[in-house]
């Protein structure tokens, strides 16, 4: 199953940026900027962008951390997507961006490695198991006080786009994912404290974040 998903994303990597540009007419660049600005990351920070795809968030994060020799790990399980990221890094002559192939459910980093973990438009596409394990892994690799930020689409208003959004949840996720998409705060609260939720300037995406506090044992009573 994992292999079929990876194959799908490898194939998709050839069209991904074109489709996003067509669909959003640069609104996606503004969205990814909003995510990076909201993250509070700055010079010298160590950032992990999971499910990085073609690296749109990772490349912006690299600009925010480059003074002070910060680092950004751009992680994805699709080699096709990572090749696109690596090509952009070379074209822009950016330092400090490291593409890594791995699954979110098993992150190849020691505990407490990162100041911030980001994820743009991918949490709804993970299997419930990958998301569950992934959230535990994100918490593990964050430093104490570090933040996890995830951005996702709001339910679209236009009927056809709403239909496509629902198809995405149905085909990529599971019943548990649809529950997660309705309200992410409960599941995030099992791993992180200080859960915050806001709307992007366009109102079409939502941004959620949570903080790792060592000793926090979740919102389960
Ligand atoms: C919709 S794309 C989002 C890409 C990018 N974050 C963006 O905002 O454009 C979802 C990405 O998640 C990756 N992905 C899906 N499941 C994954 C997993 N279990 N581990 C790592 N990456 C995964 C896919 O390969 C794909 O690149």
Identify the helix (H) or strand (E) that includes residue 144: strand 142-153
Report yes or no on 44 lying in a domain: yes
Residue 81 lies inside a defined structural domain of this protein = yes
Q: Which two tokens stand for residue 209?
A: 């974040």
Q: Provide the number of structural domains found in the chain.
A: 1
Q: Which protein residue's CA is at the shortest distance from atom 27 of ligand 1?
A: 53
The pLDDT, as a whole number, for residue 111 is: 97
Question: 27, 23, 19, 62: which is closest to 41 by C-alpha?
Answer: 62
217 belongs to a structural domain:
no
Instruction: Quote the pLDDT of residue 18.
Output: 85
CA distance 65 to 169: 33
Residue 120 forms part of a structural domain = yes
Average pLDDT over the chain, rounded to an integer: 90
Q: Report, as an integer, the average pLDDT of 191-210.
A: 93
pLDDT of residue 194: 96
CATH code: domain of residue 131: 3.40.50.150
Q: What is the pLDDT of residues 37-53, one digit of tens each?
A: 999 999 999 999 999 99
Q: Is the beta carbon of 114 within 6 A of some atom in ligand 1?
A: no
- Classified as helix, coil or strand, 136 is helix
pLDDT at residue 70 tops 70? yes
| Residue % of the chain over a pLDDT of 90 | 67
Torsion sign across C-alpha atoms 175, 34, 65, 74? positive
What ranges in the chain are assigned the alpha helix state H?
2-12, 16-24, 27-39, 56-65, 79-91, 128-141, 159-172, 175-182, 185-189
pLDDT band at 160 (very low <50, low <70, confident <90, very high): confident
| Positive or negative: CA dihedral 28, 153, 14, 125 | positive
The parent domain of residue 192 ranges over 2-211
Report yes or no on 216 lying in a domain.
no
Residue 221 lies in a domain: no
3-state DSSP assignment of residue 1: coil
Mutational pocket test of ligand 1: of 8, 36, 58, 77, the residue with most ligand atoms within 8 Å of the beta carbon: 77
Percent of all residues in the chain with a pLDDT value above 70, rounded to a whole number: 93
Phi, psi dihedrals of residue 107, rounded to the nearest 5°: -80, 130
Assigned domain for 93 exists: yes
217: pLDDT strictly greater than 90:
no
pLDDT of residue 164: 83
- Please tell me the distance between residue 191's alpha carbon and the centre of ligand 1 in angstroms: 21
Residue with CA nearest ligand 1 atom 23: 51
> Does residue 219 form part of some domain?
no
């Amino acid at each position: 199953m994992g292999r079929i998903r990876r194959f799908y994303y490898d194939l998709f990597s050839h069209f991904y940026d074109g489709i996003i540009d067509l669909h959003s007419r640069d609104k996606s660049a503004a969205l990814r900027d909003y995510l990076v600005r909201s993250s509070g990351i700055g010079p010298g920070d160590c950032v992990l962008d999971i499910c990085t795809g073609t690296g749109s968030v990772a490349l912006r994060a690299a600009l925010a951390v480059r003074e002070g020799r910060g680092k950004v790990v751009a992680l994805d399980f699709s080699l096709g997507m990572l090749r696109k990221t690596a090509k952009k890094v070379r074209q822009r002559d950016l330092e400090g961006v490291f593409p890594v192939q791995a699954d979110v459910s098993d992150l190849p980093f020691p505990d407490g490695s990162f100041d911030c973990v980001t994820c743009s438009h991918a949490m709804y596409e993970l299997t419930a198991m990958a998301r569950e394990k992934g959230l535990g892994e994100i918490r593990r690799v964050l430093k104490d006080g570090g933040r996890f930020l995830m951005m996702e689409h709001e339910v679209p208003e236009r009927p056809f786009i709403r239909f496509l959004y629902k198809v995405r949840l149905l085909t990529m996720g599971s019943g548990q994912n649809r529950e997660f998409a309705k309200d992410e705060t409960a599941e995030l609260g099992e791993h992180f404290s200080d859960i915050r939720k806001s709307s992007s300037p366009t109102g079409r995406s939502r941004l959620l974040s949570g903080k790792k506090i060592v000793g926090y044992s979740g919102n389960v009573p």
